[in-house]
């Protein structure tokens, strides 16, 4: 442990501290999620489904994304959203990317936080998210995208979060010494952040905006804007003083009267993200307490998802890929499946080419091919659902799938087999569940027929 004595230079050695942080391991998931979110583009339909599949792998992440998608911050008209697929369609690709990044970052940090320093970490995280949600709302007035603003404000004080997470005593020392020499403290914070960022292959654009960055002195650089905004936010956080925030708004051609609504909206979003955050933002007054997000029972969720799919079918310009993916998501969540796959039939090859997948193993079989033997051919001939154990399907004998019950649902378009939906779980499927899957499958077929006719 680093000694907490004497002068600033002696008691806070940034090199030693950054080495200790590197030894404790990479900040959980941050680099991975930044890369995933950064590489997924809305122009690519499959990428949108990849993003949904990434979210659906984690029940906690799915729940938080849907909670925020139904929150007054993102959904002020109160349009109920039951599926991740609809959230992407309704809220937009970039909004869901931002929510996925925020929730995954939060979940990974909380997993690594001990009870001893939990309050300290939660306090810092709540304020970082508060600033991120607020700054993102100013994207129309600023020359940066909402995503850039959100990520920059969220990670501006990243080094403080890391210190509180891994070296809480050193962080408290930094806070104490910061009162006497704030300039030196910011220099040390950036030097640590720069070293960690390089070691963890953070994008240079992210390293440039970390607290204390030299780029803060460049007037038109994003780092300068985020630093100015952070000062205004700190005045709200520490003294409930909104004047610096109003001044920031005025300087950037934003009506200063918006300051109060920015604070209230960001506060609500932070609570919707993680309710314990509210206790660390006591400066905020007003606003009704929102209850916990509804926990959909299986039948209720099925009916809500069915209504969403039907509405999408009736909307102009709907695409069959969106409907099909929403069908897979509904089957996976309504019937508690481990994985749900859609394979396109390749007649000449006698195989199913896996195009979409949802669930725990969604990455394992995507783009793979599964053989079509006598069992699957018979299912296509009968044009109806069939369920059985993997071990009873000869063509699947050598396939790398865990032993499971599999429900097959064939898609037949104009009397010709197109592909197969396959749902996997550890317990048998009931006849009632098979009937519900048939309803969903028929909606997928309808969307494909509509697309062909269009």
pTM summary value: 0.69
Residues 316, 253, single domain; the answer is no
Task: Give the number of other CB atoms < 10 A from CB of residue 369.
Answer: 16
In degrees, rounded to 5, the angle at the alpha carbon of residue 190 between the alpha carbons of residues 246 and 280 is 50
- Tell whether 40 is covered by a domain: yes
Distance separating alpha carbons of residues 329 and 338, to the nearest angstrom = 11
pLDDT of residue 29: 52
Q: Which of 248, 280, 312 is the last residue of a domain?
A: 280
Distance separating alpha carbons of residues 434 and 335, to the nearest angstrom = 10
Read off the CATH number of the domain in which 238 is found: 1.10.3210.10
Residues 261, 235, single domain; the answer is yes
Tally: H helices and E strands in the chain: 20, 6
- Tell whether 1 is covered by a domain: no
Residues 214, 150, single domain; the answer is yes
- Tell whether 3 is covered by a domain: no
Residue pair 157/182 in contact by the 8 Å Cβ criterion: no
- Tell whether 286 is covered by a domain: no
Q: Which two tokens stand for residue 309?
A: 């799919």
pLDDT of residue 11: 64
Task: Kindly give the pairing relationship between strand 351-359 and strand 416-425.
Answer: unpaired
Residues 255, 311, single domain; the answer is no
pLDDT of residue 63: 81
pLDDT in tens, the chain (454 residues): 444 444 444 467 888 899 988 887 655 455 555 555 555 555 555 567 777 887 887 777 788 788 888 887 888 888 889 998 888 888 887 778 777 778 778 877 888 888 888 999 999 999 999 999 999 889 889 988 887 899 899 999 999 999 998 899 889 888 888 888 899 899 999 999 999 988 887 778 889 999 999 999 998 899 999 999 999 999 999 888 999 999 999 999 999 988 988 998 899 889 888 888 988 887 654 434 444 445 567 888 899 999 999 988 888 776 788 899 999 999 999 999 999 999 999 998 999 999 888 887 655 676 788 999 999 999 999 999 999 999 889 988 888 777 889 999 999 998 899 999 999 999 999 999 999 999 999 999 999 888 776 5
DSSP state of 428: P
Phi-psi category of residue 427: left, alpha or beta, with phi > 0 → left and psi -120 to 50 → alpha: beta
**Nearest by Cα to 76 from 309, 310, 314, 290:** 290
Q: Which residues of 420-439 are buried (b: 16+ CB within 10 A; e: fewer)?
A: bbbbbbeeebeeebbebbee
pLDDT of residue 114: 85
Distance separating alpha carbons of residues 103 and 150, to the nearest angstrom = 13
Residues 104, 235, single domain; the answer is yes
Residues 19, 88, single domain; the answer is yes
Residues 313, 224, single domain; the answer is no
Residues 115, 13, single domain; the answer is yes
- Tell whether 287 is covered by a domain: no
Residue pair 203/34 in contact by the 8 Å Cβ criterion: yes
- Which residue segment(s) compose the domain that 302 sits in? 298-453
- Tell whether 138 is covered by a domain: yes
Q: Which residues pair with 424 in a beta bridge?
A: 339, 406
pLDDT of residue 388: 92
- Tell whether 2 is covered by a domain: no
Residues 381, 424, single domain; the answer is yes
Read off the CATH number of the domain in which 433 is found: 3.30.450.40
Q: Which of 246, 280, 314 is the last residue of a domain?
A: 280
pLDDT of residue 292: 47
Distance separating alpha carbons of residues 112 and 30, to the nearest angstrom = 13
Residues 161, 267, single domain; the answer is yes
Q: Which two tokens stand for residue 310?
A: 């039907």
Distance separating alpha carbons of residues 338 and 326, to the nearest angstrom = 16
Residues 442, 315, single domain; the answer is yes
Q: Which of 280, 314, 334 is the last residue of a domain?
A: 280
How many structural domains are present in the chain?
2
pLDDT tens across 289-299, in order? 444 445 567 88
pLDDT of residue 6: 41
Whose tokens are 């230079």? That residue is 9
H or E element at residue 407: strand 405-413
- Tell whether 88 is covered by a domain: yes
Residues 205, 58, single domain; the answer is yes
Which residues, at least 6 apart from 245, have a Cβ–Cβ distance to it below 8 Å? 232, 233, 235, 236, 259, 262, 263
């Amino acid at each position: 442990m680093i000694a907490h004595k004497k002068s600033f230079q002696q008691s806070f050695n940034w090199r030693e501290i950054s080495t200790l942080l590197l030894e404790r391991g990479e900040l959980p998931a941050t680099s991975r999620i930044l890369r995933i979110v950064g590489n997924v583009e809305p122009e690519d339909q499959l990428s949108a489904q990849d993003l949904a599949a990434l979210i659906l792998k984690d029940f906690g992440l799915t729940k938080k994304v849907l909670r925020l998608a139904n929150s007054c911050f993102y959904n002020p008209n109160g349009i109920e959203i039951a599926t991740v697929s609809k959230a992407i369609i309704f809220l937009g690709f970039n909004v869901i990317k931002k929510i996925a990044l925020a929730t995954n970052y939060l979940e990974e940090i909380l997993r690594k936080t001990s009870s001893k320093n939990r309050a300290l970490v939660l306090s810092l995280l709540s304020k970082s998210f508060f600033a991120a949600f607020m700054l993102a709302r100013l994207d129309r007035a600023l020359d940066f995208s909402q995503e850039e603003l959100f990520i920059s404000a969220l990670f501006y004080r990243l080094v403080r979060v890391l210190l509180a997470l891994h070296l809480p005593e050193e962080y408290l020392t930094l806070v104490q010494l910061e009162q006497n020499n704030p300039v030196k403290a910011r220099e040390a914070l950036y030097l640590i952040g720069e070293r960690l960022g390089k070691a963890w292959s953070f994008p240079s654009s992210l390293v440039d905006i970390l607290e204390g960055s030299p780029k803060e002195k460049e007037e038109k650089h994003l780092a300068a804007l985020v630093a100015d905004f952070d000062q205004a936010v700190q005045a709200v956080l520490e003294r409930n003083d909104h004047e610096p925030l109003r001044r920031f708004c005025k300087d950037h051609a934003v009506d200063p009267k918006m300051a109060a609504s920015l604070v209230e909206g960001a506060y609500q979003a932070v609570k919707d993200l993680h309710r314990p955050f509210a206790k660390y933002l006591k400066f905020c007054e007003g606003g009704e307490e929102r209850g916990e997000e509804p926990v959909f029972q299986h039948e209720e969720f099925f009916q809500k998802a069915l209504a969403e799919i039907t509405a999408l079918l009736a909307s102009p310009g709907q695409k069959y890929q969106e409907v099909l993916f929403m069908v897979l998501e509904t089957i996976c969540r309504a019937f508690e499946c481990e994985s749900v796959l859609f394979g396109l039939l390749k007649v000449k090859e006698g195989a199913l080419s896996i195009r979409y997948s949802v669930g725990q193993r969604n990455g394992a079989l995507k783009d793979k091919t599964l053989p079509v033997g006598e069992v699957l051919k018979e299912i296509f001939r009968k044009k109806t659902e069939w369920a059985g154990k993997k071990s009873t399907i000869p063509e699947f004998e050598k396939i790398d799938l865990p032993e499971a019950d599999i429900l097959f649902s064939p898609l037949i378009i104009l009397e010709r087999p197109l592909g197969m939906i396959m749902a996997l779980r550890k317990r048998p499927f009931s006849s009632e569940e098979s009937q519900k899957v048939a309803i969903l499958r028929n909606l997928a077929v309808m969307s494909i027929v509509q697309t062909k006719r269009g």
